[in-house]
């Protein structure tokens, strides 16, 4: 069997990516070294990432595919921030200790996965429960507490 040149493989893989309706993008960079194809760039879904890999494998002469494509979902950070906010508000309202604060007096803001809690509670225990609730939500990168506590500060245990 005649071995194909890397340049020929690169040309054909790029054409296959443009032709495949599941990929249909030219924003994928293709490099080839000794028949091994490397895909880099950003696609807008996991399905496109896998379809690009499969398309590259279909090209004659491709020995292997290294898929380094990153997936960036449109509006994903903003959508994730809204989901974190909803989940945390729900958790705070369902918490027996915090839910007794009718209505819950803790405001939640989320930006880039960073949760900022503000408002007021009556005890440090409530404060700690609110911070812990935020810490347990998937996608939270950090928690900033600006919650005012009406009761005395907790004593250090000996």
* CATH assignment at residue 121: 3.30.1340.30
Q: Given the structure tokens 């998937």, which residue do they identify? A: 138
Q: What is the pLDDT of residues 69-100, one digit of tens each?
A: 887 766 666 778 888 899 898 888 888 777 66
> For 49, which DSSP code?
H
Say if residue 40 is in the same domain as residue 96. Answer: no
Q: What is the pLDDT of residues 18-53, one digit of tens each?
A: 998 888 766 899 999 999 999 998 887 778 889 999
**Do residues 16 and 56 touch, judged by C-beta distance below 8 A?**
yes
pTM value?
A: 0.49
> Is 100 contained in some domain?
yes
> Is 1 contained in some domain?
no
Range of the domain at 10: 6-71
Distance CA 131, CA 88 (A): 10
23 CB neighbour count, 10 Å cutoff: 24
Phi, psi dihedrals of residue 3, rounded to the nearest 5°: -80, 135
Say if residue 50 is in the same domain as residue 90. Answer: no
Distance CA 40, CA 129 (A): 43
């Amino acid at each position: 069997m005649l071995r194909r040149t890397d340049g020929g493989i690169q040309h054909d893989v790029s054409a296959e990516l443009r032709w495949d309706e599941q990929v249909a993008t030219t924003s994928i960079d293709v490099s080839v070294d000794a028949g091994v194809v490397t895909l880099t760039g950003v696609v807008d879904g996991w399905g496109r990432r896998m379809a690009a890999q499969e398309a590259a494998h279909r090209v004659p002469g491709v020995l292997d595919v290294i898929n380094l494509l990153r997936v960036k979902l449109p509006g994903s950070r903003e959508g994730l921030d809204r989901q974190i906010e909803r989940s945390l508000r729900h958790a705070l309202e369902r918490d027996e200790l915090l839910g007794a604060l009718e209505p819950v007096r803790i405001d939640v803001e989320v930006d880039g996965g960073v949760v900022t809690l503000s408002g007021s509670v009556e005890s440090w225990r409530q404060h700690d429960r609110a911070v812990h609730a935020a810490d347990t939500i998937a996608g939270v990168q950090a928690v900033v507490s600006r919650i005012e506590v009406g009761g005395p500060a907790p004593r250090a245990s000996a």
